[in-house]
Amino acid sequence: MPTTTALEARLREYARQYDRDFPSTNGVERRIMARMAIAPSQPPRTRRRWEWATAGGLMRELAVVTVLLLLAGVLVVGANKLRALQPRTVTPPVTATPPPVGKLTQPPAYWTALHFVSADVGWVAETKTSAGPSTPGPTFIYKTTDGGRAWQQQLTWDGPGPVQVRFSADGSQGLLVGNGGVPLFKTADGGAHWQRMDPPPQATQVALQYFLDVNEGWIISYLNEATPGFAGVFHTSDGGQTWTQTARLDVNQEFSHGQLGGSLQGNLVFRDSSTGWMTPVTTSGTGITPVPPFLYVTHDGGKTWAVQTFVAPLGGALNSSTAIFSPPQFFNDREGLVLATQQSIPNGPGAPTFEGTYAYTTTDGGDHWSAPQQVVIPGGFVSTQAFSMIDAKTWLTFDASKVERTTDGGLHWEILDGALPADAYAFEVEFQDVNHGWAAAIIGPAHPTLAIYQTSDGGAHWTALTAPALGGQATGG
């Protein structure tokens, strides 16, 4: 019978193996539900399974303790540009073919990013639906300079769409970030020319990445070392042209609060050059004692990390084994919001159920967070195609052709009269302010097509724009 120390060492090694076998999908928890309106004809992407039958006693020991439970969560909160003076919201893309839901026919392509810097200038990413269960793609990047009446292809690559799109306010400097930091493209002329950047050479597997703007970003990756379990923190201030390793972290020490082994699974976000957060995955099982809900926080650009605990709602059911956190979203340099959804995991087979969503707010840049306030999302996250936060109180949900809005942080909702057309499923949504926004949608279900809409009255009414032609052809006048 192995000792506790030996078992813990084994479990930590399994946690590291898990991270290697199932790379982090940074940001997917808050985006995947925005894709649940398409039914692809192919089966979902194959993932490696543990061989329990042949693992012997060692794996049976592991079966006693659920080391990691990675959930494709349901928070589709838009990733804010994190600008103090220019609040906006973006619902970023997932990096895989959308999962099958409902009776919609598979479209030839789907939206994977949308970003406007003005009423006239914007970009959209379109990814072809995969012909098989492997990587989807190719992906095409289009630009408009006349508010969406015409589009020109600027870039294409094989593979899924970007997880982050960053442009300067004037649209000249731009950055496209893929999952795991690959691909990473940078432009200095509004997208006329793109340069592909490489992740740091020491990074054997990029687990987490985040770019604050077109220049400053971070990557956290396991290191190519003889001693396993160590991660490097890499920082760039020139859009990925050069990287500096700023820290070497023992994952089991820095990211193992309340667990039997550390993990780099989660999401990364920075408020500024110093302060950032990592959302942990939920863990449960024999030998793992739930602790109050928490995030990891850094105040020195990722060099060191600490645990930031959140107050649990009355009853204590929201804890480290049940809470799915969205990354903190800031609307200026002081005001921010975190959503935590409580899940209930069945004892036997079956998907988790979701018991409720709670909002935590901050007015001091995330140093302190309020007590939880329960909020109701119309239809629940499991049926909402897109969910966007314009500011701390004004949110929009897009469920098929119905658009609902709250102006009091989710306490009350109203259905907007001038909704999107029937059978329009919004996938990518961005608002520059409380009035002006765009939605990239799929019109279905029998013969689904791609469409883009614009609103100038906070989502009450929408005007159809020209959608780029599939495959990279220029469209419009």
Residue 185, pLDDT > 70, answer yes
Q: What's the N-to-C CA distance of the chain in angstroms?
A: 74
Output the pLDDT for position 16.
Answer: 52
Output the pLDDT for position 202.
Answer: 87
Output the pLDDT for position 384.
Answer: 62
Q: Token pair for residue 415? A: 């259905």
Q: Token pair for residue 9? A: 């060492």
Least reliable range by pLDDT among 123-127, 155-159, 353-357, 371-375: 353-357
Residue 35, pLDDT > 70, answer no
Instruction: Please indicate whether residue 74 or residue 419 has the higher confidence score (pLDDT).
Output: 419
Residue 123, pLDDT > 90, answer yes
Judge whether 362 and 376 are in contact, CB under 8 Å.
no
What is the pLDDT confidence band of residue 224, given thresholds at 50, 70 and 90? Answer: confident
Judge whether 209 and 231 are in contact, CB under 8 Å.
no
Output the pLDDT for position 330.
Answer: 94
Output the pLDDT for position 39.
Answer: 29
On whether residue 474 sits in a domain, the answer given is: no
Residue 381, pLDDT > 70, answer no
Residue 112, pLDDT > 50, answer yes
Domain tally for the chain? Answer: 1
- For the packed helices 56-64 and 4-21, what is the interaxial angle rounded to 10 degrees? 90
Kind and range of the H or E run holding 70? none
Closest CA to 270 of 235, 242, 244: 235
Average pLDDT value for residue range 64-69: 30
On whether residue 470 sits in a domain, the answer given is: no
Least reliable range by pLDDT among 96-110, 192-206, 276-290, 456-470: 96-110
What is the pLDDT confidence band of residue 399, given thresholds at 50, 70 and 90? Answer: confident
On whether residue 62 sits in a domain, the answer given is: yes
Closest CA to 405 of 465, 336, 462: 462
Residue 23, pLDDT > 60, answer no
Output the pLDDT for position 91.
Answer: 34
On whether residue 326 sits in a domain, the answer given is: yes
Instruction: Please give the Cα distance from 465 to 447 (Å, whole number).
Output: 19
Residue 258, pLDDT > 90, answer no
Average pLDDT value for residue range 12-31: 45
Output the pLDDT for position 8.
Answer: 52
Highest mean pLDDT among 133-147, 235-249, 278-292: 235-249
Average pLDDT value for residue range 28-38: 33
Average pLDDT value for residue range 129-139: 68
Instruction: Please give the Cα distance from 240 to 216 (Å, whole number).
Output: 8
Least reliable range by pLDDT among 2-11, 51-60, 129-138, 303-312: 51-60
On whether residue 471 sits in a domain, the answer given is: no
Instruction: Please give the Cα distance from 235 to 430 (Å, whole number).
Output: 28
CA dihedral 280, 385, 97, 454 (to 10 degrees): -120
Contacts 24+ apart (CB under 8 A), 171-177: 171/117, 171/118, 171/121, 173/214, 173/215, 173/239, 174/123, 174/214, 175/211, 175/214, 175/217, 175/239, 175/240, 176/113, 176/125, 176/141, 177/209, 177/211, 177/217
Output the pLDDT for position 38.
Answer: 30
On whether residue 475 sits in a domain, the answer given is: no
Average pLDDT value for residue range 310-319: 87
Residue 15, pLDDT > 80, answer no
What is the pLDDT confidence band of residue 40, given thresholds at 50, 70 and 90? Answer: very low
User: Could you tell me the CATH number of the domain that includes residue 123?
Assistant: 2.130.10.120
How much of the chain exceeds pLDDT 70, in percent?
72
Mean pLDDT taken over the chain? 76
Helix, strand counts (H, E) of the chain? 3, 30
On whether residue 476 sits in a domain, the answer given is: no
Output the pLDDT for position 278.
Answer: 96
| pLDDT, tens digit (0-9, with 9 covering 90-100), for 412-468 | 999 887 778 877 888 889 988 888 999 998 887 777 888 999 999 888 889 999 999
Output the pLDDT for position 9.
Answer: 55
Judge whether 150 and 124 are in contact, CB under 8 Å.
no
Output the pLDDT for position 290.
Answer: 87
On whether residue 477 sits in a domain, the answer given is: no
- Domain residue limits at 284: 4-465
